[in-house]
Chain A
Amino acid sequence: MTLTITWFLFLAAGLFSIGLAGVLIRRNALVMFMSIELMLNAANLTFVAVSKELGLIEGQVTALFVMVVAATEVTIGLAIIVAVFRTRSSANVDELAELKG
């Protein structure tokens, strides 16, 4: 068997699904965040792999932009978690159900 881009795409799909499962099943806000990071990484891997396949550097540039967005999101997200923790003494998202209709 020779290594083709397909393998990378499948790996990315697998990582994304694991991340999705993590978001769905974990109640710890921090771990949910890490799962989201994992999903972003999987998407990045897809971009880079396709960039290789097509011979276009744009895919790598896009991956860089995704990283910037991810970094931004982590900063804000963690700040929110800390702020929530200070008032609620908990990082369990199931307890944050004030918006229940």
Chain B
Amino acid sequence: MAEMIVFIIFAAVALIGAISMVAASNPVYSVIGLLATMFAIAVLYLMLDAHFVAAIQVIIYAGAVMTLFLFVIMLIGVDTSDVYGAQTLRQRVMTGIVALTFFASIALAGRTVWITGSDAFGKPNLNGTAEAVAGELFGTWTIVFLSTVMLLTIAAVGTIALAYFPQDGTQDEVPR
């Protein structure tokens, strides 16, 4: 029962955070809403015995990624012209229909196809410590893991290439 209460609280936090992220007119509030969602998801990870993933969630997402978002917002200025209410009624209705239908389709799939109804939850059948995850990561998935290193390197290089152009706005000449 205690688990149920914890789940409801943090699920509510996640949903509220998500909705406020979409609805807020000020991007800074969006960031804060998403941040709340991230933390709530981290707690849910803990409930699912994914300790290491939870820690990474807090460190990478809440720590690094959201900070990056904040930096960019500060860099390009807070743009409040785009608010949820600024869209036409048609767009809002259409969006609502698409999102709800999508949710319905997933829910239907969940009820009828995926969910086995097993009561695995609450049993200690899994222990997602750093050691266990690392064992898997450096055992079976070594090459995949190493290729993510390459991915990150490419991303870093790409970012530098994108950000590195002269002040006069001509992007053609990359300084050597």
Contacts and interface: CB of A to CB of B under 8 A. Distances in A.
Contacts of A87: 169, 171
B133 A9 contact: no
B99 A57 contact: no
A33 B73 CA distance: 12
Contacts of B56: 64, 67
Contacts of B27: 28, 30-31
Contacts of A25: 22, 84, 87, 91-92, 95
A15 B11 CA distance: 10
Q: Interface SS of chain A: helix, strand, loop or mixed? A: helix
B15 A4 contact: no
Nearest to B96: A21
Interface string A2-36: 11111111110111111111101111101101110
B155 A72 contact: yes
Contacts, number: 237
A75 to B, nearest CB: 5
Size range of the chain B interface in the assembly: 35 or more
Interface string B2-43: 011001000100110011011000010011001001100100
Given A48-B45, A55-B120, A63-B50, A13 B103 contact: yes
B143 interface: no
Interface string B100-113: 10110011001000
Contacts of A57: 126, 128, 132-133, 136
Interface of B: 3-4, 7, 11, 14-15, 18-19, 21-22, 27, 30-31, 34, 37-38, 41, 44-45, 48-50, 52-53, 56-57, 60-61, 64-65, 68-69, 72-73, 75-76, 79, 81-82, 84, 86-87, 91-92, 94-96, 98-100, 102-103, 106-107, 110, 114-122, 125-126, 128, 132-133, 136-137, 141, 144, 148, 151-152, 154-156, 158-159, 162-163, 165, 169, 171
14 contacts: A3-B3, A3-B7, A13-B107, A16-B103, A26-B22, A27-B86, A27-B87, A31-B30, A45-B41, A52-B125, A69-B148, A71-B60, A87-B169, A92-B81
Interface of A: 1-11, 13-22, 24-28, 30-31, 33-35, 37-38, 41, 44-45, 48-49, 51-58, 60-61, 63-65, 67-72, 74-76, 78-83, 85-87, 90-92
Given A6-B117, A78-B69, 5 more contacts: A11-B11, A48-B45, A57-B133, A80-B162, A82-B75
